Structure 1
Amino acid sequence: MQTIDNSLLQVSVDENGAEMVHLVSINDNYDYLGENGTEEGMAIAFPVLDQGNNWASKLPWTVVDKGDTRVSLTLIDTPESYKSFPYHFEVMTTYALKGNQLKISFYLKNSSHKELPFSLGFILPNTWQSQSSVNKISLINEEHGIDIVSTDFKLTAEDGKVTAFTDKIELEAESSRNFEITLTLK
């Protein structure tokens, strides 16, 4: 388990799946992911949102950078993954705190000599009321709130979860791309 914090927030990330399991307001010790009986964290999905083919949950992640307010983990293809998903890839996920915001960035590198088809996303459990607009979802309960904002992901709030995902994309051979999402706690 990797923990980062600043004067306002504390985030815990499980190396298994690079899953954020706690998002705590230091002011009132409120865990945005662990209150109201939810024990789920924020799950990452790559190369598809189908959990049966989700290498983000099946392959090991490695911590490659760690500071007080940020942690980066990387996922790299293996001979086993290559058999069913014949591409060489690297996904780096970085959690970075600044004030009352948590920025989650995803760096995807295609090391193959052919286009890599993929979708990328994350799933956040949600038992709160939600309001949606084009690039923003606001989650609110009696005393707390979170704004989730991204221009790189489609955001939806339904069926007890918030999903941020990309449509299927073709990443050119030997290229890379960045994706970001920001959570602002209120």
Structure 2
Amino acid sequence: MNKRLQNGEAEAVISTLGAELVSFRRKDTGAEYIWSGDAAYWTGRSPVLFPIIGAAKNGEIKVDGQAYTIGNHGFARRCEFTLVEESDTTAVFLLSHSESTLDSYPFKFNLYITYTLNGNQLELGYRVDNIDEQDIFFQLGTHPAFNCPFAGEGSLADYFLEFDEPEHLERLFLNASGLLISGKSESVLHEEQQAILPLNHEMFYDGALIFREVNSRQITLKSKLSATSVVVSYQGFPDLGIWQPKDAPFVCIEPWHGVADSEHFEGELQDKEGIIRLTQGADFTSSLTIEIR
């Protein structure tokens, strides 16, 4: 089932499957900003990543010495959420633990995702509640894919990412199993005090660009050819992924809290990079805002 949000400026469509944003467009131009999900490149559009990000070593997590099989990016993106609150401009989706989730992730939780359409901005609020009788551990991430080029204007080489803070970005790499390669990195912004990352297809041929502890809390996808842009603002996500499949007509801007396991990781879930520890009865919140200009 899809839920449609709209006002005088924009329209957003969210699927209850994964509480995934599947469309976000301007009403004045009709321009669509979210990738279509064409299987020729990638069937996703804007999945939520929970309770892990990326790949787990050997496809499993360990809790108190017991192994649990779990897929890349966790299970939330493949789960049906419940629409618990709605209006013309707001929708709240809920995923709670179940027998199925407990088979791969042995913790009880509520995951709320709230969408609020405000003018040409779509605000996404994330909240994880610990309703277990113990501490719970998880990672949480976003994965929105934006059509690029915009409306077929130019090529990817005409586009760039503008960070709101100077960055020295050190790229991490993944192996064929989706695990971080130990000791391998590359400086992407070579000088301090830089905030512009030019885009091209070749930079993604070795997979996603993964960065830890990014300074910026706002990234704008811009074109040299027009004033059209997409602004991604976020709180509670210190890490970042930038990705596209080979030569795809879209770019993913993915604020994360956590990254994939390294190829030599041998620890438990609580030892993963960027893990969030939530005590009994507590909640964790973060946010993502997409503005289409």
TM-score normalised by L of structure 2: 0.59
Aligned residue number for residue 4 of structure 2:
3
The superposition leaves residues 115-150 of structure 1 with CA deviations (integer Å, 9 ceiling, x where unpaired) of 111111111224353122311110123352111111
Amino acid in structure 2 at the alignment position of 1:175: A
Amino acid in structure 1 at the alignment position of 2:288: I
Contact 1:130 1:157 in 2 (8 A): no
Matching of residue 130 in structure 1 with residue 161 in structure 2: yes
Moved more, 56-65 or 3-12: 56-65
| In 1, Cα distance between equivalents of 2:133 and 2:35 | 43
| In 1, Cα distance between equivalents of 2:239 and 2:253 | 7
Structure 1 pair 33–143 and aligned structure 2 pair: CA distance change class (3 A)? farther
Matching of residue 139 in structure 1 with residue 139 in structure 2: no
Matching of residue 49 in structure 1 with residue 48 in structure 2: no
Bigger Rg, structure 1 or 2: 2
Aligned residue number for residue 140 of structure 2:
120
Identity %: 19
Deviation at 1:40, TM superposition (A): 4.1
Aligned residue number for residue 203 of structure 2:
none
Moved more, 120-129 or 175-184: 120-129
Amino acid in structure 2 at the alignment position of 1:46: F
Moved more, 8-17 or 159-168: 159-168
Contact 1:4 1:70 in 2 (8 A): yes
Aligned residue number for residue 234 of structure 2:
150
| In 2, Cα distance between equivalents of 1:184 and 1:155 | 20
Structure 2 residue runs without a partner (length 5+): 56-70, 149-158, 166-215, 245-251, 258-273
Higher strand fraction (1 or 2): 1
| In 1, Cα distance between equivalents of 2:12 and 2:221 | 18
Contact 1:107 1:179 in 2 (8 A): yes
Aligned residue number for residue 24 of structure 1:
25
Amino acid in structure 2 at the alignment position of 1:50: G
| In 1, Cα distance between equivalents of 2:13 and 2:139 | 25
In the TM superposition, 1:72-111 aligns within 5 A as 72-111=92-131
| In 2, Cα distance between equivalents of 1:112 and 1:106 | 18
Contact 2:112 2:128 in 1 (8 A): yes
| In 2, Cα distance between equivalents of 1:144 and 1:34 | 16
TM-score normalised by L of structure 1: 0.91
Structure 1 runs of 4+ off > 3 angstroms? Answer: 37-40
SS, match of residue 123 in structure 2: strand
| In 1, Cα distance between equivalents of 2:10 and 2:284 | 28
| In 1, Cα distance between equivalents of 2:242 and 2:50 | 20
Matching of residue 179 in structure 1 with residue 290 in structure 2: no
Aligned residue number for residue 68 of structure 1:
88
Amino acid in structure 2 at the alignment position of 1:31: E
Structure 1 residue runs without a partner (length 5+): none
Structure 1 pair 119–69 and aligned structure 2 pair: CA distance change class (3 A)? same
The superposition leaves residues 79-130 of structure 1 with CA deviations (integer Å, 9 ceiling, x where unpaired) of 1211221110010101101112111001110101111111111112243531
> How many aligned residue pairs are there?
185
The superposition leaves residues 37-77 of structure 1 with CA deviations (integer Å, 9 ceiling, x where unpaired) of 78741111110113715121232211101100011110011
Moved more, 59-68 or 153-162: 153-162
Deviation at 1:6, TM superposition (A): 0.8
